[in-house]
Amino acid sequence: MSVLGLAAPAPAPARGGATEFRLLGPVAVHDPATGAGIMPSGPKQRALLATLVVHAGRRLPAERLVEELWGERPPANAPNALQSHVARLRRLLPSPGGHEWISTLPTGYLLALGPASTDVQRFTQLSAQGRAAVPDDPRHAVELLGRALSLWHGAALQDSCHGPLCTAEADRLEEQRLTTLEALYEASLNCGRHTEITSDLERLTADHPLRERFYDLLMAALYRCGRQAEALGVYERARRHLVTTLGIEPGPALRCRMEAVLTHAHSPAPGRSAAAGMAAELAQLQARIDQLVRDQQDLLRRMRQHRPGP
């Protein structure tokens, strides 16, 4: 079972509580009166709501919203079209206590959250608490980080990321999600759950082949399972992706992990017997890595020799 499957889900807002705007997946609004979700019907309505919520409490000029909704091809009557979308959104949103969500200003619009909250706020808080707990209380960290990630129901701002404002926010949130995942699997390693997480990490390295931290965590998990040769194979796979795609070698953290695996690879993990042929495979991998290091050193030396003087 995945580590995420074992983590406690984040509690949903209670019925009768505050309105919650949801951006971690399809853009929607949790209506506390009915307990149901309200989802704008069209992509422009969703983009408008997402943009206003992301910039809650700040005035958004009308021209920025027009660009967000229509890009470089706005309609001839863009201000009127935008006003129409805002009016429909006002009618769609619940109004507990008569709260006015969207204000029309002389040069734009502003959404005031008031007593409402967002799932982004909940995710950010749980993620920060979980990451802080990783070194000293990894079991609690796994719980908190799992709850944070359970708030995601698809890509951030799903079906709303055509304009520059929503695209930038979706990218920022995705980076936070990946950082939270990295912390979750680090905490899981600290709890001794290496066997449970290898499949998840294999998938993550395939989905994010240029993200070195997932390779590092996978190598650590495989090594602790007594699968040293596979751990070294992961390093080779990471290096191949990085060199082929970006033209760079793995960073210091991943190289240190490789060296640590090599240093201890010939000593089987306690309670496990070395697999047949592992020594030969390790020797072959080590020879390959040593050659790559020498090639890199030769390349750097030649570059220094041909570097023009001051």
CB 205, CB 215: distance < 8 Å: yes
* For range 301-305, the mean pLDDT: 63
CB 148 within 8 A of CB 130: yes
Digit-coded pLDDT (tens) for 1-32: 466 554 556 655 545 568 899 999 999 998 87
Is the pLDDT at 283 greater than 60? The verdict is no
Mean pLDDT, rounded, for 209-237? 95
**What letter represents residue 35's amino acid?**
G
d(CA 254, CA 155): 28
| CA nearest neighbour of 238 among 267, 223, 217 | 217
Retrieve residue 234's tokens: 């992961």
pTM of this structure:
0.80
- Strand, helix or coil for residue 2: coil
Confidence of residue 159 (pLDDT cuts 50, 70, 90): confident
Instruction: Give the three-state DSSP class for 213.
Output: helix
Mean of per-residue pLDDT scores for the chain: 85
- Order the strands of the 117-118 sheet from edge to edge: 37-38, 28-30, 20-22, 117-118
**Rounded to 5 degrees, what angle do the CA atoms 232, 234, 236 make?**
75
**Residues 151, 288: Cα–Cα separation, whole Å:** 44
Taking only Cα atoms into account, the Rg of the chain, rounded to an integer number of angstroms, comes to 25
Mean predicted confidence (pLDDT) in 122-134:
97
